[in-house]
């Protein structure tokens, strides 16, 4: 008789060792139970929660941390404010007391439009006006940090603009030519946080995976891997987070091709098969990584499920505060990532 798994909707990470009963796609969501319907053949004995802890680093600059707490002069300009992620970041930043500049960049079709978020009217400017507008805003708000949640095709042009003007930025937009992106910012020697994954807890899980891959290469040699990821229908490509986790498994000795990732994008399947709550079909990230030993007697399961966008928005605000602190401490001007933000140990 198959053992039922229950779903509750909040971010979670599980490391599972399994013996003697079928395994199914489970998530944890809002304390609202519902049965999962996607199964992989395997055996379950118990789930061991992965607990990740990072102490604050010594000499992290308590005075500087206090000086960059919300309400201390930081201003952000959110490009892509008409999108769901842009709006989520504005709401999170506003709740944290960060000043929102009423200016944003969008497409040519959006130029001249006004977007209202949190009672603030934000004017959207098109590509032709960007450099002049950004220079003017930066002059008016010298502690400005730009947050970018635009589209993949705009990543490199936007990074070049921020670099020319010299404005610090947090890049949450995925895609584009990533090598070119890093070269552009490194040559400009400006402050930036660049990360395709802004969810702090998911980043901590990725960091743990990287440590395991580095310290125990080949530990899963011979194991087979099955990967399933479910995202809103508007996400057409495979998750960058999934690819990063898979690359760790490859270093651990697993043979797997990225083309084998099972992408679930159909809303009906997401609700009925994966167990995504209906209210989060338009914004979620459910990932399952299932490993099976060569003789099929042992299996492991790694899973992280996210409903909504608040985890990414909050992480983005922490990245902004982190970058503001680095600027005020006159730290080295370079590219940081979310691992750096986590290591700082000063998240809200």
Q: What are all long-range contacts of 259-266, with beta carbons under 8 Å and residues at least 24 apart?
A: 260/226, 260/227, 261/227, 261/228, 261/229, 262/226, 262/227, 262/228, 262/229, 263/229, 263/230, 263/231, 263/238, 264/228, 264/229, 264/230, 264/231, 265/230, 265/231, 265/232, 265/233, 265/235, 265/236, 266/233
State the catalytic residues. Answer: 231, 235
The predicted structure's pLDDT at residue 109: 92
Averaged pLDDT for residues 236-259: 93
pLDDT in tens, 5-47: 333 333 444 333 343 433 344 433 333 333 343 433 334 333 3
Specify whether the CB–CB gap between 8 and 29 falls below 8 A. yes
Is residue 227 within 8 Å of 248, Cβ to Cβ? no
pLDDT of residue 274: 95
Angle between helices 155-165 and 178-188 (to 10 degrees): 0
If you average pLDDT over residues 225-243, what whole number do you get? 91
Lowest mean pLDDT among 14-28, 110-124, 281-295: 14-28
β-strand partners of 77: 146
Q: Bigger pLDDT: 50 or 246? A: 246
What is the greatest pairwise CA distance in the chain? 67
pLDDT at 317 over 60: yes
Supply the mean pLDDT for the chain: 83
Mean pLDDT of 312-339: 96
pLDDT of residue 347: 66
Q: CA 36, CA 24: separation in Å to the nearest integer? A: 7
Per cent of the chain over pLDDT 90 is: 73
Q: What residue ranges define each of the domains in the chain, with the CATH number in brackets?
A: 75-199+310-344 (3.40.50.720), 200-308 (3.30.360.10)
> Within 10 A of 30 (CB to CB), how many other CB atoms are there?
14
SS3 track for the chain: CCCCCECCECCCEEEEEECCCCEECCCCECCCCCECCCEECCCCCEEEECCCCCCCCCCCCHHHHHHCCCCCCCEEEEECCCCHHHHHHHHHHHHCCCEECCEEECCHHHCCCEEEECCEEEEEECHHHHHHHHHHHHHHCCCEEEEECCCHHHHHHHHHHHHHHCCCEEECCCCCCHHHHHHHHHHHCCCEEECCCCCHHHHHHHHHHHHHHHHCCCCCCCCEEEEEEEECCCCCCCCHHHHHHHHHHHHCCCCCCHHHCEEECCHHHHHHHHCCCHHHCCCEEEEEEEEECCCCCCEEEEEEEEECCHHHHHHHHHHHHHHHHHHHCCCCCCEECHHHHHHHCCCC
For residue 69, what pLDDT is reported?
55
Residue of higher predicted confidence among 164 and 238: 164
With a cut of 60, say whether residue 267 has pLDDT above it: yes
With a cut of 50, say whether residue 308 has pLDDT above it. yes
How, if at all, do strands 13-18 and 335-336 pair?
A: unpaired
Contacts of 79 (CB under 8 A, 6+ apart): 86, 104, 105, 106, 146, 147, 148, 149, 150, 158
Q: Give the pLDDT score at 57.
A: 42
Q: Tens digits of per-residue pLDDT, 60-115?
A: 444 444 445 544 679 999 999 999 999 999 999 999 999 999 999 999 999 999 99
- pLDDT tens for residues 125-169? 999 999 999 999 999 999 999 999 999 999 999 999 999 999 999
- Among 254, 288, 255, 258, smallest CA distance to 270 is for 288
Alpha carbon distance 149, 164 (integer Å):
19
> What pLDDT was estimated at residue 175?
84
- 196-228 confidence digits (pLDDT tens): 899 999 999 999 999 999 999 999 999 999 999
Q: Which range has the worst mean pLDDT, 108-112, 235-239, 257-261, 302-306?
A: 235-239
Rounded distance between C-alpha atoms, residue 80 and residue 151, angstroms = 8
pLDDT exceeds cutoff 70 at 174: yes
């Amino acid at each position: 008789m198959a053992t039922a798994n229950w779903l509750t909707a909040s971010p979670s990470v599980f490391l599972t060792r399994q013996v003697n009963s079928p395994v199914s796609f489970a998530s944890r969501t809002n304390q609202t139970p519902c049965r999962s319907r996607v199964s992989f053949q395997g055996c379950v004995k118990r789930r061991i929660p992965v607990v990740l802890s990072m102490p604050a680093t010594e000499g992290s600059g308590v005075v500087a941390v206090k000086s960059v707490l919300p309400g201390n002069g930081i201003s952000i300009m959110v490009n892509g404010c008409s999108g769901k992620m842009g709006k989520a970041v504005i709401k999170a930043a506003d709740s944290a007391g960060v000043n929102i500049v009423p200016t944003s960049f969008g497409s040519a079709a959006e130029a001249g439009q006004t977007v209202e978020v949190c009672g603030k009217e934000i004017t959207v400017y098109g590509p032709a006006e960007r450099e002049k507008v950004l220079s003017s805003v930066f002059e008016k708000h010298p502690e400005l940090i730009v947050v970018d949640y635009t589209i993949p095709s705009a990543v490199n042009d936007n990074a070049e603009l921020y670099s020319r003007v010299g404005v610090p930025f947090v890049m949450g937009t995925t895609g584009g030519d990533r090598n070119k992106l890093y070269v552009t910012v490194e040559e400009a020697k400006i402050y930036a946080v660049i990360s395709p994954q802004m969810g702090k807890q998911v980043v901590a899980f990725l960091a743990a995976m990287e440590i395991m891959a580095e310290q125990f290469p080949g530990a899963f040699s011979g194991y087979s891997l099955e990967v399933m990821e479910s995202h809103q229908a508007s996400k057409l490509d495979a998750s960058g987070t999934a690819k990063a986790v898979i690359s760790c498994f490859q270093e651990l000795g697993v043979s797997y091709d990225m083309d084998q990732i099972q992408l679930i994008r159909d809303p009906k399947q997401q609700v009925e098969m994966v167990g995504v709550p209906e209210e989060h079909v338009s914004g979620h990230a459910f990932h399952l990584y299932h490993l099976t030993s060569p003789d099929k007697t042992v299996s492991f399961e790694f899973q992280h499920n996210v409903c909504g966008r608040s985890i990414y928005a909050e992480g983005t605000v922490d990245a902004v505060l982190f970058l503001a602190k680095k600027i005020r401490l006159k730290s080295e001007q370079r590219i940081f990532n979310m691992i750096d933000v986590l290591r700082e140990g000063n998240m809200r």
